[in-house]
Amino acid sequence: MTAKRTLGQFTINPIGLGCMCLSHGYGDPTDEADAARLLHRALDIGYDFLDTAAIYGSGHNEELIGRVLKARRGEFVLASKCGFGRSRRDPQPDRFVDGRPEAIDEVLDLSLGRLGVEHIDLYYLHRPDPLVPIEESVGALARAVEAGKIGAIGLSEVSADQLRRAHATHPIAALQTEYSLWTRNPEIAGLAACRDLGVTFVAFSPVGRGFLAGALADRPALSQDDMRRVMPRFIDPQLTHNLAWFAEYRAMADEIGCTPAQLALAWLLQRDPALVTIPGTTSIGHLEENMAAGGLSLSPERMDALDALINQRTVAGARYTPAMQRSVATEEFA
C-alpha cells in the first residue's frame, strides 16, 4: 500500500473517499442502509479522509455522514465545502456560486449542524465567486479557523493566481480540482503552484467520472438525474471517439493484471508523489478495488505509454458544458 501523505496538519492515506455519489450527481441517492455499510467498510479497510459538501443532495450527504459515522468520528479526517448552492441573485441556473463572507458563515453553521460536529477538519470554498475577491472569501474562512469551527482552509476549482492570492491572506492547506489521465488541466499551473506554496493537491474524479473504470464501455442508459448526460465527453460523437482509445487502455490494464480504475489511480499516485485522490463509489466492491490500487507500481515505460495514449490531445470533448465551465477558474488548454 502507498505510504501516507501530508495534507496540512494531517497525515492521511492518499486514496480517500469522495462521498458525493451516495447522495447526488449520478442518479438516485443510495439506499441509506447500503450507504451506511459502505461508509463503515471504508473506515474498516483504511480510508481515513472523507470528502463531502453542503450542496451534495442539498445537505443530505453531510447529514448521512454525520448520522452514520457519529460514533467513529475520531477515525477519519473530515472535509466539506461551502460557496455553491442556490440564490435569488442569479435567475438563470438554480446552481450558483456565492463566496460572500456572510454566506460562508451561514453555510458553515448549517454544515456543522448537519454533520453533528462542532469542528470540521478541512473546509473548502467550493467555487471562486467572480463577484467577490478571493481574499474576502478566504478572510471569512480564516475567521472560522480562529473561532475553532474549522481546522484548515481549502479551495476548489480556482486558478493558480487565485490560489497564490488566497495563500497570502491565510495559509491554504489543499487545492481540489479534477485531475486524471483524461483531465490534465492542473498540469498547466495548479500543480506547480501547490508545490511552490506547500499546498496539497486533491484530485477529484480521478477515474474520469467512471469512464476510466469502464462504466460507459457498454453504453448504459444514464438516468435523468445523472450529470454526465449533458457533459460533452459522454455524448456522441465524442463518446465514440473516447471509447475507441478506452479499448486499448483496458487491454493495458488486463496485461498488467489490474482493473482499469486501479490503473488510473496508480498513474495519478505515481505522477505526483504528494497528491491525494478521492474516488467516489456506491459499490463496496469498487471501494475495495480502489484501495488496492495503492499497492500497484507502474514502470516508467508503462507511465509513458499511458501518458501518450490518454491526454488533452487524444480526449474528445470539454470536461464541462459552457454553463458549468463558467463556475470554475482553473486554467484551460488552448
User: In whole angstroms, how large is the CA radius of gyration of the chain?
Assistant: 19
User: Hey, is 38 helix, strand or coil?
Assistant: helix
- Beta bridge partner(s), residue 176: 156, 202
Residue pair 318/233 in contact by the 8 Å Cβ criterion: yes
Q: Which residues contact 89 (CB under 8 A, 6 or more apart)?
A: 96, 98
Cα maximum dimension of the chain: 54
Q: Quickly list H helices, the chain.
A: 32-44, 60-68, 101-115, 134-146, 160-169, 190-197, 238-256, 260-271, 284-292, 300-309, 322-325
Residue at 158: amino acid letter: V
- How many degrees, rounded to 5, is the angle at CA 231 between CA 87 and CA 238? 160
Selected catalytic residue, list 56, 123, 124, 320: 56
Q: Clarify whether 123 is annotated catalytic.
A: no
Burial of 295 (0-12, 13-18, 19+ CB in 10 A): exposed
Long-range contacts of 161-169 (CB under 8 A, 24+ apart): 162/128, 162/134, 162/329, 163/190, 163/193, 163/194, 163/197, 163/199, 164/193, 164/197, 165/134, 165/135, 166/134, 166/135, 166/137, 166/138, 167/197, 167/199, 168/135, 169/134, 169/135, 169/138, 169/139, 169/142
Catalytic residues: 56
